[in-house]
Amino acid sequence: MAAHQEKKLAEERKHQNNSKASQGQWGRAWEVDWFSLASILFLLMFAPLIVYYFIMSCAQYQCSLTDPLLDLLTGNKHLSDIWNRTPMLTYRAAAIYSLWVTFQVFLYVFVPDFCHKFLPGYVGGVQEGAVTPAGVVNKYEINGLQAWIITHVLWFANASCFHFFSPTIIFDNWIPLLWCTNILGYAVSTFAMIKGYFFPTNAKDCKITGNFFYDYMMGIEFNPRIGKWFDFKLFFNGRPGIVAWTLINLSFAAKQQELYGEVTNSMILVNVLQGIYVLDFFWNEAWYLKTIDICHDHFGWYLGWGDCVWLPYLYTLQGLYLVYHPVQLCTAYALGVLMLGLLGYYIFRMTNHQKDLFRRTNGNCRIWGKKPEYIECSYTSVDGTKYYSKLLTSGFWGWARHFNYTGDLMGSLAYCLACGFEHMLPYFYIVYMTILLTHRCLRDEHRCSSKYGKDWKCYTAVVPYRLLPGIF
């Protein structure tokens, strides 16, 4: 009897050790190295300043990134001069933003998806996410496309019939709104940290490194929720910032019309190309549940503040720039930019589609007219359960391990090129996306290598390049 109990205890201990090992193996890091800590401190201190600098340089220096620095370095201006000319938080901006976020919460939580009932091919309504490191499968209400359509119908109805507010409202309150987005970004990240410590939704999927800054930035909880349906990650990643993206661009176009009596072809290009990207995001929201943001990242300042502030302010710099510099492109150049943007989008979409189709059908599909080639792989979740998966090695996935990022980068470059070559500011986006997606490649590969072990090695031997076949 005693021998039997001892054996059982030993088995339990082995199981616990295995659990801890596998939980440490994939998913976010348990330990913080100095480089990560230094990067995090840098971002916490400087990311809000970077956003302010870009927006201020447009408002006060016609989008020149060097003039504010030159003014400060030569003593021509003091920081206080720049700050004193910066619009402060206003009641009007606070009211607009509160209304905006409340409306998006309402659409997210209280309006179940209807679009999937009449749009062929669209996947909406209740959908399952990926298996979390603790082995949980969350359910999500996918209704982003509907939220986007309702919001835009109301926007156009107001602009053409009701005239309750001017379509330039976003541009006209751009800096006061910046303070509002920051307040929400910091509030939600702080709340997520407190929630993670004291009342997490799923304690087994929490990670606490003990380093305050790291936990604040990278998040503790994996999928914080309030009630059954309000999922912080999906809401903040996919609602107030991204739904606003296309409205912000429309507002910038309206401002051009008001200031110059016309909307330039560059502004139309930026609106169209970024509009396709945003619509694609909503059309594929169910697929998005399987991307790194939802499958790997915990919810902290990186996602909370990033989605509230960084995304709507820095992803829309091209449109803002074109309000100050209305560039009219020659037709051949504009067509070239359009082609680059569409080709980038096609690669981005087809690569994502191939993986999605392959995974959904468990390999029973055709990629470029042929049976897909793949590598069998396996991984273990926290509770010790072994899962099996497959890594596609044909189609775009045979060209490079992240060819979807390559397409994304081509599209990003097109937005920047639409602004001409007079200033550096519009090119921030391609620089940022290159850093983001290269870093993401490395992060993802680190995760996959920990998750799949030797199977991942076999895969990288078959598909040796990351972004550009033959180069990187």
Q: Which of 392, 414, 419, 467 binds ligand NDP (CB under 6 A)?
A: 392
74-82, 95-103, 187-195, 439-447 -> range binding ligand NDP (CB under 6 A) = 439-447
Beta strands in 296-431 (DSSP E): 374-380, 386-392
Q: Which of 77, 152, 353, 440 binds ligand NDP (CB under 6 A)?
A: 440
- Over the window 405 to 424, marking each residue x when it contacts ligand NDP by CB under 6 A and - when it does not, the resulting string is x--x----------------
Nearest approach in angstroms of CB 157 to ligand NDP is: 29
CA-closest candidate to residue 430, choices 452, 447, 446, 410: 410
Q: Which of 18, 25, 257, 291 binds ligand NDP (CB under 6 A)?
A: 291
Nearer to ligand NDP, 167 or 411 (CB): 411
Number of Cβ within 10 Å of residue 63's Cβ equals: 24
Type of residue found at 220: I
- Taking every pair of Cα atoms in the chain, the longest distance, rounded to a whole number of angstroms, is 90
Nearest approach in angstroms of CB 363 to ligand NDP is: 10
Dist. CA 2–CA 436, nearest whole Å? 57
Contacts of 368 (CB under 8 A, 6+ apart): 394, 395
The neighbouring-strand residues paired with 230 are 226
Nearer to ligand NDP, 61 or 288 (CB): 288
Tokens standing for residue 441: 């490649």
Dist. CA 92–CA 53, nearest whole Å? 23
Tokens standing for residue 165: 């507010």
Q: How many angstroms separate the Cα of 100 from the Cα of each of 74, 215, 287, 309, 427?
A: 42, 29, 26, 14, 29
Nearer to ligand NDP, 194 or 365 (CB): 365
Residue 466 binds ligand NDP, judged by CB under 6 A: no
Nearest approach in angstroms of CB 191 to ligand NDP is: 23
Residue 205 binds ligand NDP, judged by CB under 6 A: no
Dist. CA 368–CA 212, nearest whole Å? 49
8-16, 95-103, 334-342, 387-395 -> range binding ligand NDP (CB under 6 A) = 387-395
- Start-to-end C-alpha separation, the chain: 61
Burial class (CB in 10 A: 0-12, 13-18, 19+), 211: middle
Tokens standing for residue 8: 């059982």
Q: Which of 397, 427, 428, 429 binds ligand NDP (CB under 6 A)?
A: 397
The neighbouring-strand residues paired with 131 are 137
1-9, 116-124, 240-248, 385-393 -> range binding ligand NDP (CB under 6 A) = 385-393
Nearest approach in angstroms of CB 351 to ligand NDP is: 7
Does an H or E element contain 132, and which?
none
Nearer to ligand NDP, 61 or 302 (CB): 302
Kindly determine how many residues on this chain lie close enough to bind ligand NDP according to the rule CB under 6 A: 19
Residue 292 binds ligand NDP, judged by CB under 6 A: yes
Residue 404 binds ligand NDP, judged by CB under 6 A: yes
The neighbouring-strand residues paired with 140 are 127
Note whether 319 and 426 are within 8 A (CB): no
Nearest approach in angstroms of CB 303 to ligand NDP is: 11
80-88, 201-209, 236-244, 404-412 -> range binding ligand NDP (CB under 6 A) = 404-412
How many degrees, rounded to 5, is the angle at CA 292 between CA 102 and CA 43?
75
Nearer to ligand NDP, 173 or 237 (CB): 237
Crossing angle for the helix pair 91-110 and 174-198, nearest 10 degrees? 50
Q: Which of 231, 448, 455, 467 binds ligand NDP (CB under 6 A)?
A: 448
Nearest approach in angstroms of CB 318 to ligand NDP is: 14
Residues 326-365 within binding reach of ligand NDP (CB under 6 A): 348, 352, 355, 359
Per CB under 6 A, residues contacting ligand NDP are 291-292, 348, 352, 355, 359, 389, 391-392, 397, 402, 404-405, 408, 440, 444, 447-448, 451
